[in-house]
Amino acid sequence: MRVVVGCGNLYRRDDGVGITVIQRLRGALDPLSADIALHDAGTSGMDVIFKARDCRQLIIVDACRTGSDPGSVFRLPGSELELPHTPTLTLHDFRWEHALYAGKRLFGERFPERVTVFLVEGTDFGFGDGLTPPVEGAIPAVLAQVKAALAEAEATP
C-alpha cells in the first residue's frame, strides 16, 4: 500500500494545504489505484502512525514556516525530520514528526522505510478558511510531485 497523508487545519488558512492536496488528489487520481490510500490526518500525529503501519510508502504533505518565499515547495526524506516526542499530559502536541520517530520504534519493519515529506511555505496561519494566493498557486506543483513520488514507488516495489 502507498499512503498519502495530508496534515493541517482547514480553518487556519495556509495550514490547510495538506488537506487541500488530499482533496484535490482524490479528483486527480480518478480512478484511484487499489494500492493507494489518501488520508486527511488533520492535526493528529497519532493518525499518521496508524495510517503508515504496514504500508510500503508514506507521503506526508503539510505547511511550514521557514522564512522562505510563500508558496515554496520542499521535498525531504522523512528520516531528516523525525523527532522524539517529549511526553506531556496530552497528545495534542504529538505531531507527524514525532509519529515518524515513534512509528519506527513501535512497528519496526512494519513501518515504511520510504517516507517523503512535502512542505509548502505558508504565510498566513490565522483563523479563516482558504489558502493565500501563493500557497494556492503551489498546489499544482505539489500534486505533480506527489504523483511522481507515487509513480517512483510503483516502479520500484
Q: Could you list the mean pLDDT of each consecutive 10-residue stretch along the chain, which spans 157 residues?
A: 95 97 90 89 85 94 97 94 72 80 91 95 96 98 96 80
Determine the length of the chain: 157
Burial class from Cβ neighbours inside 10 Å (0-12, 13-18, 19+) for residue 70 reads: middle
pLDDT of residue 128: 96
- Alpha-carbon radius of gyration of the chain: 15
- Residue 109, number of CB atoms within 10 A of its CB: 8
Determine phi and psi for 116, rounding to 5 degrees.
-125, 135
Classified as helix, coil or strand, 21 is: helix
End-to-end CA distance of the chain: 10
**CA proximity to 156, closest of 122, 118, 113:** 113
pLDDT at 84: 77
Q: Is the pTM of this model over 0.95?
A: no
Q: What is the pLDDT of residue 45?
A: 80
* CATH number for region 2-155: 3.40.50.1450
32, 68 contact by CB (below 8 A): no
Alpha helices in the chain (DSSP H): 17-28, 45-52, 96-107, 133-155
Residue 56 is predicted with a pLDDT of 93
What pLDDT is attached to residue 92? Answer: 65
What's residue 90's pLDDT?
61
